[in-house]
Amino acid sequence: MPKADSQTKQRRLISLPLRIAFGLVFATIIPLAVTLFITEWQTQPILSDRANDAMQSDAKSRVELIDTYLKERVLDAQTITQVATVQQYLATPPAPTDPAYQDQVKHTVVALAAGMYRDKNYTTWQLYDSKGKIRLYYPTTTAPQPHGKDLVPGHYLDNVLAGQDFISTVYFSNDSKATVDIYAPVKASTPEGKTTNKLLGFIRVTLGLDRIWDSVKSDTQNGKGSYAFILNEDGIRIADTDQTRVLQAIDTLPANVRQEITDEKRYGDIDPVPVTKDPTLSQHLRNKENTYKAKLAGQSEEYQIVQKSTTEVPWKYFVLSPVSTVNAVANQQLQTTIIIAFVMSGLMAIIGLFTGQSLTRPILRAANSLRDSSDALSSLASRQRDAATEQMWVVESSQIGLQSVQYYTEAINTAATQLANMANSFTHQLDQLDQQRLRQAIERVQSTSKYIENAAQYQNDSNKKLSTALNVTNQVTEQLASGATSATEAAAQLEEVVKELRAVVG
């Protein structure tokens, strides 16, 4: 019983509306807590994979755009090498005073101009003979810029005279304009239009890289802090989202490469090329494509890195995104879920309070009604106990009176019997007494005794009826006392029910 009272007191500390509100809050928080756990456990790898997929897709699409763009520019040069006037011009020795030669020059300039207008980033179109001597260029007002002391570096001249189409390394002017040279050999054709192996010369097209560089500069859509850059075949940054990192090598350059850079003045006044060693990039530079995480030189945090190689030129395209950016997405989702949890908990608490109050009102009314009924029943039981007590007192008094009446009735019967006996005795002694008078006296005694005997008989019958009535009254009194006891017990039970309801409601 004390344990039950203790539990009841504990339940009373928190009312039913609050318990319902807390129950709804817990019912809301538990699924959200599970969601938070799953989010923390599964979201990080999923988001990392998605970010990696997005970065790979971005790198792939941009590398494809670079390859497609450069391939089209090579096709532009190859197309011009097939123009008959260009081939005829290179096959004809220079004759400045010959009108026919001057006519060839005009038609060849038109062909070069046609190539020039294929892309706005072309700077010059140049024609060289088979010995590497320049014959013609367009625009005629823009002279080709030499690479060092030569217009055409020796190793490029050897390759193009061997019949190869290729794109040169990247050159930077003093004003940081990046260009490449596209080389395409010009071979003689038969009258039927078939190309022979006879080399007439070659075309060199200088192409500005603003379109590619602008694409790299704008490659920041892979999250906050993401960027991209391009390394050339020597491990030098030739393009970067941050222009301050351009023309920095990731490792010490070989001596022959440093010499070529100096001889060709590849990067204008920048010589030697600054070196910011990055062992991670150097290690992965030999791979065609790769995905990894690393903290690069000059960076303060770890990055997710995707690299892909171009096919038209020996470049590596890198896309980088801070690992914290990927985690920030998960953390943002976590914060959003927590906010939702608090909002939902508040709503559930409010709903629970209103619901609990709507539930407890009828219960409280029922409890109050039961309490009133219990009070009325207790009052009735009290009155019944008082009435039973008074009734029992009356019964006891009646029983005492009945005993007295019975006593006197028996005395009367005894006297009547004695009187009758005396009369009989007098009757037997008549001979000795005055008969007339004695007979009269005896008759009167007999008559009186008969009357007393009848009265005693009537009194005895009344006593029996009174005794029966007292017995019935006694039984009623006992039943009344029993009913009072039952009413008391029922009132006590109702009181316990009220207490339990109060404990439930709080």
In this predicted structure, what is the pLDDT of residue 224?
85
In this predicted structure, what is the pLDDT of residue 159?
96
* Whether residue 201 sits in one domain with residue 286: no
> What CA–CA distance (Å, rounded) separates 476 from 496?
30
In this predicted structure, what is the pLDDT of residue 22?
67
**277-322: per-residue pLDDT in tens?**
998 888 888 776 688 888 888 788 888 899 999 999 999 999 998 8
**427-486: per-residue pLDDT in tens?**
666 666 666 766 776 777 777 777 677 767 767 776 777 777 677 777 767 777 777 777
Whether 1 has a pLDDT exceeding 60, the answer reads no
> What CA–CA distance (Å, rounded) separates 154 from 272?
21
Final residue of a domain: which of 212, 228, 258? 212
Residues with Cβ within 8 Å of 410's Cβ and at least 6 positions away in sequence, in order, are none
The gap from C-alpha 359 to its chain's centroid, in whole angstroms, comes to: 32
Residue 494: inside a domain, yes or no? yes
Final residue of a domain: which of 308, 323, 338? 323
* Whether residue 469 sits in one domain with residue 371: yes
Residue 149: inside a domain, yes or no? yes
Residues with Cβ within 8 Å of 340's Cβ and at least 6 positions away in sequence, in order, are 32
In this predicted structure, what is the pLDDT of residue 52?
79
Tell me, what CATH number does 80's domain have?
3.30.450.20
> What CA–CA distance (Å, rounded) separates 396 from 386?
15
* Whether residue 425 sits in one domain with residue 404: yes
Residue 11: inside a domain, yes or no? no
DSSP state, residue 275: B
Residues with Cβ within 8 Å of 165's Cβ and at least 6 positions away in sequence, in order, are 74, 77, 78, 182, 183, 184, 185
Final residue of a domain: which of 287, 308, 323? 323
Residue 33: inside a domain, yes or no? no
* Whether residue 301 sits in one domain with residue 255: yes
Asked which of 28-42, 119-133, 181-195, 259-273 is least confident by mean pLDDT, the reply is 28-42
Whether 387 has a pLDDT exceeding 80, the answer reads no
**Residues 83 and 91: beta-carbon distance below 8 Å:** no
Residue 10: inside a domain, yes or no? no
* Whether residue 203 sits in one domain with residue 83: yes
* Whether residue 373 sits in one domain with residue 256: no
**261-279: per-residue pLDDT in tens?**
999 999 988 889 999 999 8
* Whether residue 175 sits in one domain with residue 134: yes
**345-378: per-residue pLDDT in tens?**
677 667 766 676 676 667 667 667 777 776 777 7
> What CA–CA distance (Å, rounded) separates 70 from 312?
7
- What is the side-by-side order of every strand in the sheet holding 237-240? 237-240, 227-231, 316-322, 303-309, 289-294
* Whether residue 283 sits in one domain with residue 191: no
CA nearest to 335, candidates 21, 22, 29, 40: 40
Residue 16: inside a domain, yes or no? no
Dihedral angle computed from the Cα positions of residues 173, 178, 182 and 183, in that order, rounded to the nearest 10 degrees = 30
Residue 89: inside a domain, yes or no? yes
* Whether residue 300 sits in one domain with residue 408: no
* Whether residue 220 sits in one domain with residue 206: no
Share of the chain above pLDDT 90, in %: 38
Q: Please report where in the chains the tokens 């070659």 appear, as a residue.
A: 202
Residue 253: inside a domain, yes or no? yes
**Could you give the number of structural domains in the chain?**
3
In this predicted structure, what is the pLDDT of residue 89?
94
> What CA–CA distance (Å, rounded) separates 162 from 210?
30
**150-185: per-residue pLDDT in tens?**
999 999 999 999 999 999 999 999 888 999 999 999
* Whether residue 219 sits in one domain with residue 180: no
112: containing domain: 68-212
* Whether residue 489 sits in one domain with residue 474: yes
Whether 212 has a pLDDT exceeding 80, the answer reads yes
Average pLDDT score over the chain: 81
